[in-house]
Homo-oligomer: A and B are copies of this chain.
Amino acid sequence: MTAPKFKQMKQAYGFDDVAIVPGDITVNPEQTDVSLQLGNITLDIPIVASAMDGVTDVNFAILMSKLGGLAVLHLEGVQTRYDNPAEVLNEIANSPNEKVTALMQKIYSAPIKENLIGERIRAIKKAGAVCAATVMPTNTKKYAQLIVEAGADLLFVQSTVTTTRHVSKSYEGLVFSKLVKSVPIPVVVGNCVSYSACLDLMKEGVSGVLVGVGPGAACTSREVLGVGVPQITATIDCAAARNTYLKDTGRYVPIITDGGFKKGGDVCKAIAAGADGVMLGSTFAQAIESPGHGYHWGMSTPNPVLPRGTRIKVGTSVPLQQILFGPTSVTNGTQNFVGAIRTAMGFCGASTIREMHNAEMVIAPSITTEGKSWQLSGPNTRA
């Protein structure tokens, strides 16, 4: 009789499951270099704001660039469907919970106005900022030229799961290797979570890969589809792909972990796990300057038949500058992300992001438990 063959599954880990172990030497945080290189573009800080309508508009992209980071403008959202997107964002923010998904399904069924694509990009460039713009794979061929001509510095091609090969009868799949050759600016693609899918994308010649399926606060792919990989394991696997690709070709393609971050510690863990940069949504939706009025949502939320996201209320807290660099009197890790990265690097003796990839990590679920037990005693206990 044939021997039984059982399906095998490996263990995966998220931010809350792991911790960083301090190193054997320490470094002064002020001497760390936290820059991120995407093709010919260098960012002073390795932090990118999500291409979400509640997070990034023209003004936010300009401000983020001035502060050394990057905010990616989504070219298939309200910014290109409406002449006055602020009005529409206001409407979403004021909708009651039980009606907001239906409202968004309606709002996002309005057609994209091609003239607004160039307009938005030019507004960012005019302010002297680095401009990054996102399109979905289906529409990339249609809009790429327009985007380049308008002067964008970086092209992001992003969907829930992006692979080098997509089987469809209704449209011809996007070939990334062709795209990369046809546009003169760096192309960053995603999202993916596995070693092989990431390696495939790097072989196409892209300048960066976004890592993460399912972890974001606004994403419900886990509930709806069961699809997703916790971010630490996704980052470790894609970092292994990057390292393999580097050894084989000599070219270093940075990976950007995207989604699920809630606090500075999460960002530090992603970098220690191998990320070259991080993309945050919820965090920046809380900035006073973000366009969502304290709300954000993903591009799968308005899906007309199977919405896979929710509008998340995060509230509005402080200026973007303070979120990024402090100073702060908040002690829960939601402000001064750059200070957190530098301090964690200091504790691990890492002078650069790439050195931080060598930091030791442990699987440490109980750290949270220990911390929580105090909080369980009620809000009065934690003074």
Report which A residues bind B (CB closer than 8 A): 1-7, 9-28, 30-31, 97, 100-102, 105, 160-170, 192-197, 200, 213-215, 217, 220-231, 233, 236-237, 239-241, 243-244, 247-248, 260, 262-269, 272-274, 295, 301, 304-314, 326-333, 336, 339-340, 343-344, 347-349, 351, 360-371, 373-374, 380-383
What CA separation (Å) do A12 and B18 show in the bound complex?
9
What CA separation (Å) do A321 and B8 show in the bound complex?
35
- Chain B nearest CB, measured from A374 CB (Å): 5
Look across to chain B and name the residue whose beta carbon is closest to the beta carbon of A220. Answer: B331
| Cβ B6 vs Cβ A240 within 8 A | yes
| Cβ B22 vs Cβ A213 within 8 A | yes
| Cβ A227 vs Cβ B364 within 8 A | no
| Cβ A161 vs Cβ B225 within 8 A | no
| Cβ A169 vs Cβ B22 within 8 A | no
Q: List, in ascending order, chain B residues with CB within 8 A of A220's CB.
A: 331-333, 371
Given contacts A222-B265, A331-B224, contact A22 B197 (CB under 8 A): yes
Given contacts A237-B6, A327-B305, contact A383 B265 (CB under 8 A): no
| Cβ B19 vs Cβ A228 within 8 A | yes
What CA separation (Å) do A272 and B20 show in the bound complex?
25
| Cβ B226 vs Cβ A1 within 8 A | no
Q: List, in ascending order, chain B residues with CB within 8 A of A10's CB.
A: 362-363
Given contacts A22-B193, A27-B166, A236-B7, contact A301 B366 (CB under 8 A): no
What CA separation (Å) do A105 and B97 show in the bound complex?
40
| Cβ B13 vs Cβ A265 within 8 A | no
Of B167, B236, B382, which contacts A313 at CB under 8 A? B382
| Cβ A370 vs Cβ B329 within 8 A | no
What CA separation (Å) do A213 and B7 show in the bound complex?
20
| Cβ B227 vs Cβ A2 within 8 A | no
Given contacts A22-B197, A223-B333, A305-B326, contact A240 B312 (CB under 8 A): no
What CA separation (Å) do A255 and B13 show in the bound complex?
30
What CA separation (Å) do A381 and B233 show in the bound complex?
28
What CA separation (Å) do A373 and B195 show in the bound complex?
28
What CA separation (Å) do A258 and B269 show in the bound complex?
23
- Chain B nearest CB, measured from A187 CB (Å): 18
What CA separation (Å) do A105 and B126 show in the bound complex?
41
* 6 shortest interchain CB distances as A-B pairs: A14-B366, A226-B265, A223-B333, A28-B168, A12-B362, A313-B383
What CA separation (Å) do A192 and B21 show in the bound complex?
9
Look across to chain B and name the residue whose beta carbon is closest to the beta carbon of A271. Answer: B226
Besides A10-B363, A230-B364, 13 more A-B contacts (Cβ < 8 Å) are: A2-B248, A4-B241, A26-B165, A26-B166, A100-B383, A221-B265, A222-B368, A222-B371, A224-B263, A224-B332, A224-B340, A301-B331, A312-B382
What CA separation (Å) do A214 and B4 show in the bound complex?
24
Q: List, in ascending order, chain B residues with CB within 8 A of A13's CB.
A: 9, 366
| Cβ B383 vs Cβ A310 within 8 A | yes
Q: List, in ascending order, chain B residues with CB within 8 A of A24's CB.
A: 163-165, 194, 196-197, 200
What CA separation (Å) do A23 and B233 show in the bound complex?
16
Q: List, in ascending order, chain B residues with CB within 8 A of A162's CB.
A: 26
Q: List, in ascending order, chain B residues with CB within 8 A of A17's CB.
A: 365-366, 369
| Cβ A367 vs Cβ B241 within 8 A | no
| Cβ B14 vs Cβ A311 within 8 A | no
Given contacts A23-B197, A101-B329, A227-B19, contact A239 B7 (CB under 8 A): yes
Q: List, in ascending order, chain B residues with CB within 8 A of A15's CB.
A: 226, 366, 370
What CA separation (Å) do A237 and B368 show in the bound complex?
20
| Cβ B373 vs Cβ A262 within 8 A | yes
| Cβ B7 vs Cβ A228 within 8 A | no
